A and B are shown apart, each in its own frame.
Chain A
Amino acid sequence: MEILGYQFMQNAILTGFLGGIACSVIGVFVVLLHMPFIGVCMSHAAFAGALLGLWLGFDPILGAFIFSLAAAAIVGPLADRGDLNPESSIGVIFSLMLGVAFLFIGLMPGTKSAALELFWGNILTNTQGDIILLGIVAAIIVILVVLFYKEIQATVFNRDIALAVGIPSALVLYGILFLTGAAITVSLRSIGGLLIFSLILNPAAAAYQLTYSLKRLFLLSAAFGVLSCWLGLVFSSLFNFPSGATIVIVSSLIFMVAAVFSPKRKVKGWRRKTDPEIIE
């Protein structure tokens, strides 16, 4: 327990809490809008942008943010137009981003340790500044979800219906993509460019197995996100594992347990519960 007294550990716990919330709340959008591929694409773009920053000597966070937003600007219209098969175009951009990332690493002079850290992430090396930035982004995401809950609910249900009742669903969609870029950017250093998307998708996908209420989905997803980070942190310090990898594995295990015990697999039981008046 004495490890909790160290500043780096306290920072890591706080990072896990804020990053877990930011990523897993965004994950709810990714799951409901059926856009996991777009999220993967943006994560790898952020990774490439951060590497460009490292190579050219400007802030990697800035590079990550610009690149992930640029990826959103390219792949967003594909999703928004409702193209039947946007996956191929998104796949091309995804692999391009990965190629660009490796190119930047290759071009980088000297030691590559900082670049490799962006691969795996390290939750233990976060600075006070990183945490403040993460806290700001997490707070913005939560506040916007609360303020625009009904617009978000209508848009994730069906964009055409949202549009038909007078909600500018394209604006809501692009807002969501913008927040996704922000959440990926600020969590990149802790979780790592190759792993960050798992922390976005897995807690939300796990929560999706367990509830038919959108409010509960957000809360459960955030809880699973934080739990993944904290348990991952515990295992990584106990067994000296890389923190980002451990967090991702824990979040995947939570998803598997949720999928096995999902009440959504038993639709008839649910119907008896919700329609007491109906005799089936």
Chain B
Amino acid sequence: MNDIVIKIEDAVVSYREDVALRGISLEVRAGEFIGIVGPNGAGKTTLLTVINGLGKLVRGKVSVLGHPVVPGNGHGLRKRVGYVAQVQNIDPRMPLNVREAALIGRYGRLGWLRMPQKKDWQIADRMLDLVGMTPLTRRPIGHLSGGEQQRVAIARCLAQEPELFLLDEPTASLDWRAKTDILELVKKIHDLRQLTTLFVTHDLSSLPLTCDRVILMKNGLIWKEGPPRQVLTDEHLSQLYGLPLSAVRQRRAEGVGV
């Protein structure tokens, strides 16, 4: 369980004129559940894109699952890395049902010119069952609610049989009930499938309570990291979000996320 599966050394990423990451170093061990928290524009999503090979490094080195991430090997890497983004706008008339949407997770692993076999459909069905979507498998994907869509996105991601599980604001724009359900599901899946999970959020109330480690990001840098109890203090959050300490205390006392 102590194998290093992600190793980032001094990563710098910039888009046009903006520097998104300003020299980040991070090591993640197999089986860890890491929460990445920070305000909008802190570089959280960019950090995930560096891990799945979609971010373009200006400087630094990244190694994922024992392989260096260099231009050209991204597609091979992404077959082993599951990625769930926030709820997407899907055209309600999109000609794709829930079962087919989950099957897409198998496509990368299958490779060119190989059609999905019975086994692939069975895997997709199993994952839909795991996320509680079996009753809706024939429904067009565009007819789902935000919470249901995220369940399918998680099933698709699991159908990939990933070794890394990256979640980028998966509960953004969901209502309280759907948010709670998705957080419980993510934690259950992390434990059940023994994954290494990185969970990005700007909203503290969306952070699963049982993270092994929390990383606070600010201005493209890792600002603090450590066990949740040490890192998620009122003082740190006040500085991270630029809010008065009293406001942070009040909001946390009321159980509202920052």
Contacts and interface: CB of A to CB of B under 8 A. Distances in A.
Interface string A245-274: 000000000000000000010010011001
B108 A165 contact: yes
Interface of B: 52, 54, 75-79, 81, 83, 85, 88, 90, 92-97, 100-101, 104-105, 107-110, 112-113, 115-116, 135-136, 138-141, 143, 153, 156, 160
A208 B93 contact: yes
A112 interface: no
A87 interface: no
Nearest to A149: B115
A178 B113 CA distance: 20
Contacts of B156: 161, 165
B138 A275 contact: yes
Interface in A179-217: 208-209, 211-214, 216-217
A212 B140 contact: yes
Contacts of B52: 164
B143 A270 contact: yes
Q: Which 7 A-B pairs have the closest CB atoms?
A: A166-B108, A166-B79, A165-B108, A164-B83, A274-B138, A166-B78, A214-B95
Nearest to B139: A274
Contact of A164 (B78, B94, B139): B78
Contacts of B112: 148, 151
A163 B83 CA distance: 10
A126 to B, nearest CB: 33
A84 interface: no
Contacts of B116: 150
A238 interface: no
Interface string A133-151: 0000000000000011111
A122 interface: no
Contacts of B138: 274-275
A164 B166 CA distance: 10
15 contacts: A153-B104, A157-B101, A161-B153, A162-B104, A162-B107, A163-B78, A164-B52, A168-B75, A212-B96, A264-B93, A267-B92, A270-B140, A274-B136, A275-B135, A278-B136
A158 B153 CA distance: 12
A255 B85 CA distance: 35
A70 interface: no
A160 B85 contact: yes
Residues of A in contact with B, size category: 35 or more
B85 A267 contact: no
Contact of A150 (B83, B94, B115): B115
B104 A161 contact: yes
Given A160-B85, A163-B54, A151 B95 contact: no
Contacts of B143: 267, 270-271
Contacts of A165: 78-79, 104-105, 107-108, 156, 160
A108 interface: no
Contacts of A212: 93-97, 140
A180 B92 CA distance: 25
B107 A154 contact: yes
A277 interface: yes
A23 to B, nearest CB: 19
A211 B78 CA distance: 32
Nearest to B166: A164
Contacts of A216: 95
Contacts of B95: 32, 208, 211-214, 216-217
Counting chain A CB atoms within 10 Å of each CB, the highest count among B52, B93, B101, B139 belongs to B93
Contacts of A267: 92, 143
B67 to A, nearest CB: 14
A151 B94 contact: no
Contacts of A211: 95
Contacts of B88: 158, 160-161
Given A164-B78, A166-B75, 4 more contacts: A153-B96, A154-B107, A213-B97, A267-B92
Contacts of B105: 165
B109 to A, nearest CB: 7
A167 interface: yes
Nearest to A214: B95
Contacts of B76: 166
Contacts of A157: 94, 96, 101, 104, 141
B109 A166 contact: yes
Counting chain B CB atoms within 10 Å of each CB, the highest count among A164, A168, A209 belongs to A164
